[in-house]
Structure 1
Amino acid sequence: MNKFWMITLGIIAGIIVLSNLGAIVGLAVSALILYAGIHYYLRSISLAAKIWWGIVGAVGAISAISNVPALLGVAAAAGLWMIYRNWNGRPVAFQDAKDPFTNFENQWQKLNK
């Protein structure tokens, strides 16, 4: 990919990530609430505690699902990471996609040395 287009896409992805930073933090908080609800639901013994932690988990799940801008921000951050990885020509996938066993053979030869 041309460096100009990589810079352009990187700037656009950076702007998207920065503009959705608050939503990403909100998604992280709702994921933490969801995790706590599930964790304590599985560990609770009484029915009242299970109902309470089920409600807490449901609130966390609903707030995480309804946070679409954060999902766009996370996707832009993933795109920014791919641009960073691909900047110096380092491929993201395997070198030789024709034969899936080429990488295995190269690794096997390195182990046998």
Structure 2
Amino acid sequence: MKKFGLLLAGGIAACVLLANVGPLAGLAICLVILYFVFKQFMKSESTSGKIIWGLIGLAALSASLANVPSLIGLAAAYVLYLVYKKWNGTKKSTKNDEQDPFVNFEKQWAELKR
């Protein structure tokens, strides 16, 4: 039943992520442009250059704010990561296994053989 719940959560998260691929790409492009504009703004020494780069930066910032719903897509990608991590998780060792020196020896010996 646990695997079914993980499969259901992963399927829903995958659908949400696929629905938000466009806004995610738009957000990434806008943030790259905003970074480039910021670097040029800091390099510019003239006032008119700073004003022009500032206006371009405001336009890029407003375009990136328009893609805020893509944060839902980022959350869906994170949920997919958690589902993947939980799906392939290993069993935790019991308290007796940690105290038994021979179990730890076998684990270390297996690692050394690799």
Deviates further, 58-67 or 10-19: 58-67
Residue 64 of structure 2: aligned partner: 64
Q: Give the 5 Å matches for 1:21-100.
A: 21-89=21-89
Aligned-residue sequence identity (percent) comes to 38
Gaps of 5+ in 2: 92-114
Choose between structure 1 and 2: higher helix proportion: 2
Contact in 2 for aligned 1:27/1:70 (Cα 8 Å): yes
Residue 3 of structure 1: aligned partner: 3
Residue 16 of structure 1: aligned partner: 16
Residues 63-84 of structure 1: CA deviation (Å, up to 9, x unaligned): 1122132111111111111211
Give runs of ≥4 in structure 1 deviating > 3 Å: none
Gaps of 5+ in 1: 92-113
- Greater relative contact order: 1 or 2 (C-alpha under 8 angstroms, separation 6 or more)? 2
Give the number of the structure whose alpha-carbon radius of gyration is greater: 2
- 2: CA distance between counterparts of 1:78 and 1:56? 32
Aligned-partner SS, 2:69: helix
Q: Which amino acid aligns with 1:19?
A: A
TM-score, L = length of structure 1: 0.73
Superposition deviation, residue 47 in structure 1:
0.9
Superposition deviation, residue 61 in structure 1:
1.4
RMSD of the alignment, in Å?
1.8
